[in-house]
Each structure stands twice: as structure tokens, then as C-alpha cells.
């Protein structure tokens, strides 16, 4: 097995690129930062949701401080009723094949995405019209989150879009496509026609290696940037430095929120009597030592998590609670009617023992470690968690009736809506515990129907905690968020990857968000 890894680690490195990456100041980079996108490089099928779309560009984008700025657009305007979004476009943009990018292409992109419905939910989009270098989006009802589609959807050329587009993408982004060897590597070159700040590096080679192989390649000096798991962070690699990037790539425990008894349409059980009790959920949140999880499991490369969106503009800072407090947790349990009357170390309430099962996906070592450590921590207050590892197929059947160790994290508050809205109860992996709170639902509605992003922020924050109730630990605590995982990159000495943003859950790709700012330092 080790042998196979070594062999694959060596064979996938492009031999021609090796001498050039050795010499400083080369304008070519070899990077091993993440998994290959299965569906190729078509924005309509989900490419570019994490990190730079490389080949395409978007109407709007976020700057390094996560502020929304213009990209293809020169500005946008939202009507008073919030239903009409008018985006005016730059007129100097051409695709990498030399043809100009027009409003026609924007309309085509959004129409195709709405029709395919694959990865972008555009059900609220009534129509797209084009005027003189302007695109007008008509919505069925106001939607403040519509702006995120303008940020994440790369514009594809109408004249060159066909069924094989995802394998030979053409766009107006900073790089153009050269070669994709499925399962091995992607080679891109800078786009001469790019209208924005031209990237310093002329040629990038992305190697699709697993984490062990990426680390081995970094050790061998054959890559300039490598994405590595925290287990390897303690080892130094000659000629490379470790860069830890903050993230909202979080891990937490999703509790079943309702009592047992229900069944989903597929017949899977819903609910759990123990975790349906708010005292249990709050006590677990209070007793867990998040900092110790960060230090012990993530080797210090992470931060405690209190919500799914720590540090983002829509985060309510009041949701941070003091944790690692067994005394306070015991008081919460006592007030909730739980006590250890039969002295077996596990608290009971009306004959119901505080026991439940926590399931983690068996292929994920970090989640396994978090689950085991969390289960050990809550033992101190008399709650017994059985830990089990299952495959995703099995988890789908069990996730509504058992606590699950899940991970999220996105640059889009819509994720909060998906995770906590009663409308998403039991939909995909979102609200697995069937959480619902009418006040929170109402605030979500207000946030979504706000006219602009700024207006919506206060509603998103209130949904987490409005002083009375909310979806955070202070309110109903349907989750016990544990940690945000820093993304770790080994960077060749002298290479600067600029100011990195708080990265979403996205397996290495988000590092390319600011690819134009990468440069060799003196």
C-alpha cells in the first residue's frame, strides 16, 4: 500500500515541470490542493462554487474581506419591491477564444442553469431579459440571497456551450484551459484576454493526489503548494512553510429535535426521546471543551465553533457561550429534571436514561476522533453516547433518529436557512433533526425577502439569537457545533498566496479564490 502511494506520488508529477519549479521566480506552479471535480468545469453543474472558477468569471465577486465587489458587472440595482435586479455589464470583456462576452451570454447561463436545476436553485427566477449591455432578472418574490447566485455562477459562452463543455471549458476568467487528464492533473495557462488584474503565474498544474500522496510529493519537493490534513502538520518539510487558513469548515453534532415515533416517506425513523429534550442538548453544548478538541485533534489548527457561520458577516457574536463547564451543565440537567437516581453514572428522567447513539461517517478520521472525544467529554455529566461509524448510505437511513457528526460551512447565509428552516426538515443532509421554531422561520422569511443583502443581515443574526429564542446554543440548541477546521497548506518558501479569506467547506479549492494575488516574494 505504501509502495503504491509512493509510486503514484512519483508518477503523477509532470517531469517537465520539475526543473522549472525548482528555480525561484519561475512563472509556473505545481499545486496539489484538492480533489478533482467529478462533474468537470461547468459552472452550471456546480464548478466554481468553492474557490476561483479559474476559466470563467462571475458578475460579482467577494474581495479578500468578503465584501461584494463588481467583476463582470459595473454595478447592480434592485427595484423598490425587490423583484427586479438590473445588472449592468462591462463592455470590454472577451472570452479566451477572442469572442466578446455579452448580455446574451449572461442570459444564456442563467436560463440554462434554471432549466437544468442541477446545482443552483433558481426556482424564484421568473425571467431574464437583456437590454443595452444590461441584464434584468425578474424574480417571483424578493430574495436577498439572489446576490449569491451572481457571485458564484460563472458565465459560460453561448456560442461554445455544448455537452462536452465541462471537459473543455471556455470562459472569461484569469486562466484558460489547456489539458485535463482525468484522475491525474489539470493544466491551465493564463488568459491573455483577461480584463482584470493579470495573474503573476503563467501556467498552473493541479495534481489530483490524495492527502498522503500530496504530502509525499511536498516532501519530495515536486509541488509548490500542497493541501495537507492536520495529522501531518507537526512535521517540517524542507523548503516549505505551513500556512493555516481560517475557515468556516465546521464540524458539529446534529441532534434529532423531535421525539421518536415519526417516519420519513422512505420509512426511515425520525426523532429521539433523549435528544428531543433541550436540557440534554444544552448540557452537551456547555460541557464540551472545544478548545481541547482543537488542540488535541486538530493539532491546534482550528478554532472553537458555536454556529455554522462563525466570523461571517451574518454571524451573531452573542452566540458564543462559555463551555467546558461541567458544573453549569449539571445544573442545566438538574433543572431539566434529569438526575442519577440509581447511581449508575448515567442520569435519568422519568425512567428514560440519557443515552443515545452518535454516528460518524466511517471514512473520516477527523470526525471519528471528534465523535469519540465528545462522547468521552459528556460522560462527565452522566450522558452516555454510544459512538458508531457507518457508511453514508447507512447514515442516510439513520440520521433522523440519531445524532450525526456533520460538517458544513459556506459563504452564503442560505446554508443557515437550509440547516434550520422547518421547510428543509429531512431534505437531503440539511435539517436532519427536523428542527422547527416558528419565530426562526419568520425571521428567515424576513431575511430572504429583504431587498438587499445588508438589510437581510440583521434578520439572519436575529434568527440565531434575538434575546428570547433562536437557533443557536442560547436558544434551542439543535446542534452542538464543535470546531472550525483550519485549512493547512504547505507553501514553498518565497511563495506568497496573498491574504486568504475565511474559507468555506471545500476541500482545498478555496485557496484559489485570490489566485491573481499569488506571487514570489523577494
Q: How far apart are CA 471 and CA 439, in angstroms?
A: 10
**Closest to another protein by CB, 73 or 297:** 297
Assess 4 for contact with another protein (CB under 8 A): no
Q: How far is the CB of 278 from another protein (least distance, A)?
A: 27
Q: What angle do CA 326, 485, 184 make, to 5 degrees?
A: 150
Interface with another protein (CB under 8 A), residue total: 29
Q: How far is the CB of 371 from another protein (least distance, A)?
A: 8
Assess 402 for contact with another protein (CB under 8 A): no
Among 104, 243, 340, 394, binds another protein (CB under 8 A): 394
Assess 369 for contact with another protein (CB under 8 A): yes
Assess 396 for contact with another protein (CB under 8 A): no
Rounded to the nearest 5°, which phi and psi values hold at 51?
75, -175
Query: Within 41-80, where are the H helices?
Result: none
SS (H, E, C) 150-211: HHHCCCCCHHHCCCCHHHCCCCCCCEEEEEEECCCEEEEEECCCCCCCCCCCCEEEEECCCH
Q: How far apart are CA 56 and CA 310, in angstroms?
A: 29
Among 14, 138, 368, 458, binds another protein (CB under 8 A): 368
The C-alpha cell at 47 is: 464548478
Assess 2 for contact with another protein (CB under 8 A): yes
- Indicate the Cα dihedral angle 246, 250, 251, 254, nearest 10°: 160
Q: List the x/- string, 47-86, binding to another protein by CB under 8 A.
A: ----------------------------------------
**CB count in 10 Å sphere of residue 113:** 22
Cβ contacts of residue 192 below 8 Å, gap of 6+?
96
Assess 390 for contact with another protein (CB under 8 A): yes
Assess 439 for contact with another protein (CB under 8 A): no
Assess 210 for contact with another protein (CB under 8 A): no
Assess 232 for contact with another protein (CB under 8 A): yes
**Closest to another protein by CB, 189 or 325:** 325
Q: How far is the CB of 66 from another protein (least distance, A)?
A: 32
Among 68, 387, 398, 519, binds another protein (CB under 8 A): 387
Measured CA distances, 384 to 36, 106, 253, 275, 353 (Å) = 40, 55, 15, 12, 9
Assess 150 for contact with another protein (CB under 8 A): no
Strand 250-254 to strand 479-485: parallel, antiparallel, or no bridges (unpaired)?
antiparallel
Q: How far apart are CA 250 and CA 152, in angstroms?
A: 21
Q: How far is the CB of 1 from another protein (least distance, A)?
A: 6
Q: How far apart are CA 373 and CA 482, in angstroms?
A: 11
Among 130, 160, 326, 372, binds another protein (CB under 8 A): 372
Cβ contacts of residue 267 below 8 Å, gap of 6+?
none
Assess 238 for contact with another protein (CB under 8 A): no
Assess 488 for contact with another protein (CB under 8 A): no
Among 87, 188, 216, 477, binds another protein (CB under 8 A): 216
Assess 345 for contact with another protein (CB under 8 A): no
**Closest to another protein by CB, 40 or 300:** 300
> Of 456-475, which residues contact another protein (CB under 8 A)?
none
Assess 236 for contact with another protein (CB under 8 A): no
Strand 495-496 to strand 250-254: parallel, antiparallel, or no bridges (unpaired)?
unpaired
Measured CA distances, 508 to 116, 151, 211 (Å) = 27, 19, 10
Among 79, 138, 292, 422, binds another protein (CB under 8 A): 292
Among 23, 162, 234, 238, binds another protein (CB under 8 A): 234
Assess 297 for contact with another protein (CB under 8 A): yes
CA 136 to centroid of chain Cα atoms: 29
Assess 346 for contact with another protein (CB under 8 A): no
Integer-rounded Cα Rg, in Å, for the chain is 24
Q: How far is the CB of 321 from another protein (least distance, A)?
A: 21
Helix (H) or strand (E) holding 385: strand 384-390
Q: Which residues bind another protein (CB under 8 A)?
A: 1-2, 212, 215-216, 231-232, 234-235, 292-293, 295-297, 362-363, 365, 368-369, 371-373, 376, 387-391, 394
Amino acid at each position: 500500500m505504501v509502495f503504491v502511494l509512493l509510486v503514484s506520488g512519483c508518477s503523477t508529477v509532470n517531469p517537465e515541470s520539475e526543473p522549472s519549479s525548482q528555480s525561484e521566480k519561475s512563472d509556473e506552479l505545481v499545486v496539489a490542493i484538492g480533489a478533482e471535480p467529478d462533474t468537470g468545469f461547468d459552472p452550471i453543474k456546480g464548478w466554481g462554487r468553492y474557490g476561483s472558477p479559474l476559466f470563467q468569471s462571475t458578475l460579482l465577486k467577494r474581495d479578500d474581506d468578503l465584501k461584494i465587489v463588481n467583476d463582470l458587472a459595473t454595478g447592480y440595482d434592485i427595484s423598490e419591491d425587490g423583484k427586479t435586479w438590473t445588472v449592468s455589464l462591462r463592455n470590454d470583456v472577451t472570452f479566451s477564444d477572442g469572442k466578446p462576452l455579452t448580455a446574451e451570454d449572461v442570459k444564456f447561463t442563467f436560463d440554462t442553469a434554471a432549466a437544468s436545476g442541477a446545482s443552483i436553485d433558481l426556482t424564484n427566477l421568473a425571467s431574464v431579459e437583456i437590454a443595452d449591455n444590461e441584464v434584468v432578472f425578474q424574480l417571483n418574490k424578493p430574495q436577498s440571497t439572489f446576490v449569491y447566485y451572481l457571485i458564484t455562477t460563472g458565465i459560460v459562452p453561448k456560442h461554445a456551450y455544448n455537452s462536452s463543455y465541462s471537459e473543455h471549458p471556455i470562459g472569461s476568467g484569469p486562466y484558460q484551459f489547456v489539458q485535463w487528464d482525468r484522475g491525474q492533473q489539470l493544466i491551465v495557462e493564463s488568459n491573455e484576454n483577461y480584463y482584470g488584474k493579470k495573474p503573476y503565474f503563467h501556467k498552473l498544474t493541479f495534481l489530483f493526489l490524495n492527502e498522503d500522496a500530496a504530502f509525499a510529493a511536498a516532501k519530495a519537493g515536486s509541488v509548490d503548494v500542497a493541501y495537507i490534513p492536520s495529522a501531518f502538520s507537526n512535521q517540517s518539510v524542507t523548503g516549505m512553510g505551513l500556512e493555516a487558513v481560517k475557515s468556516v469548515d465546521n464540524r458539529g453534532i446534529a441532534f434529532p429535535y423531535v421525539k421518536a415515533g415519526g417516519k420519513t416517506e422512505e420509512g426511515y425513523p425520525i426523532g429521539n426521546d433523549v435528544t428531543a429534550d433541550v436540557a440534554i442538548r444544552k448540557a452537551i453544548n456547555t460541557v464540551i471543551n472545544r478548545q481541547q478538541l482543537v488542540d488535541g485533534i486538530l493539532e491546534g489548527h482550528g478554532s472553537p465553533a458555536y454556529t455554522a457561520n462563525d466570523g461571517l458577516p451574518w454571524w451573531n457574536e452573542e452566540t458564543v457561550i462559555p463551555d467546558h463547564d461541567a458544573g453549569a451543565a449539571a445544573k442545566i440537567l438538574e433543572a431539566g429534571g434529569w438526575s442519577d437516581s440509581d447511581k449508575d453514572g448515567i442520569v435519568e428522567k422519568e425512567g428514560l436514561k440519557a443515552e443515545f447513539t452518535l454516528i460518524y461517517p466511517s471514512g473520516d478520521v477527523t470526525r471519528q476522533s471528534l465523535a469519540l472525544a465528545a462522547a468521552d467529554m459528556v460522560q462527565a455529566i452522566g450522558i452516555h453516547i454510544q459512538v458508531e461509524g457507518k457508511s453514508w448510505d447507512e447514515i442516510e437511513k439513520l440520521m433522523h433518529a440519531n445524532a450525526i457528526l456533520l460538517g458544513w460551512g459556506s459563504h452564503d447565509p442560505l446554508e443557515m436557512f437550509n440547516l434550520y428552516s422547518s421547510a428543509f426538515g429531512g431534505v437531503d443532509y440539511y435539517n436532519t433533526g427536523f428542527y422547527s421554531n416558528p419565530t426562526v422561520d419568520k425571521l428567515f422569511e424576513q431575511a430572504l425577502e429583504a431587498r438587499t443583502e445588508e438589510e437581510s443581515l440583521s434578520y439572519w443574526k436575529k434568527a440565531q439569537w434575538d434575546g428570547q429564542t433562536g437557533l443557536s446554543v442560547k436558544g434551542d440548541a439543535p446542534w452542538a457545533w464543535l470546531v472550525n477546521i483550519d485549512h493547512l497548506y504547505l507553501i514553498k518558501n518565497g511563495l506568497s498566496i496573498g491574504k486568504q479569506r475565511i474559507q468555506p467547506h471545500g476541500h482545498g479549492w478555496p485557496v484559489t479564490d485570490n489566485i491573481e494575488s499569488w506571487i514570489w516574494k523577494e
